[in-house]
Amino acid sequence: MSPSVACLDTSVLVKLLVAEEGSEVAHELAERLYSAGRPIIAPAWTWAEVGSVLLKKARSGDIGEAELAQAWDTYRAYPVLYLDSAELRETAWALAAQFALPTLYDATFLACVQLVAPDDGEFWTADRALLRSLGKARPAYVRELGA
């Protein structure tokens, strides 16, 4: 049996790239996942969202240009399997409606796990607003970084 997938949302991925609150926990998680041979999945556009967050951090002075370049190079080297399909988009739409999510971004991360490994996959997030939106009825595969 192959190891189950894990989906890391942008809030977790950025913590792997720049030093901020929760970075140490994110690195421990990534090490556990990679050591176990667990594939990392994400929506096809995740690279653009991660890059946008990094650019915003650089423009606001939170990170310097050298750190920006290093973070981007590091991210591009991550072995992430990017997913996109009509079924993924439909599932994301349904999840956004089910949980009254304000955007499809979060719903698409959830849809990745819902479609690929709903029984034993994991979706990791550090986004407290998302966790509040999902409430107590959140899918069993949702995990909070650091909890």
Residues 72-88 have pLDDT tens digits of 999 999 999 999 999 99
93: pLDDT strictly greater than 50: yes
The band of 118, judged by pLDDT with boundaries at 50, 70 and 90, is: confident
Residue 119 resides in a domain: yes
- pLDDT at position 36 is 95
Give me the CATH number covering residue 83. 3.40.50.1010
- pLDDT at position 2 is 55
Residues whose CB falls within 8 Å of the CB of residue 114, separated by 6 or more in sequence, listed in order: 91, 95, 139, 141
Higher pLDDT, 62 or 118: 62
1: pLDDT strictly greater than 80: no
Q: Where are the alpha helices (DSSP H) in 1-147?
A: 10-17, 23-35, 46-59, 65-77, 86-98, 104-116, 128-134
Cα 28-34-36 angle, rounded to 5 deg: 100
Residue 28 resides in a domain: yes
Integer Cα distance of 144 and 125 in angstroms: 5
Closest by CA to 82, choosing from 7, 32, 143, is: 7
Which amino acid is present at 118?
A: P
**In which order are the strands placed within the sheet that holds 40-43?**
80-83, 40-43, 6-8, 122-125, 142-144
Pairing of strands 122-125, 6-8: parallel
What's the number of domains the chain is made of?
Answer: 1
Integer Cα distance of 18 and 145 in angstroms: 16
The band of 58, judged by pLDDT with boundaries at 50, 70 and 90, is: very high
pTM: 0.94
7: pLDDT strictly greater than 90: yes
Q: Which domain holds residue 104?
A: 6-144
Residue 1 resides in a domain: no
- pLDDT at position 3 is 63
- pLDDT at position 147 is 75
Residue with tokens 């690929």: 116
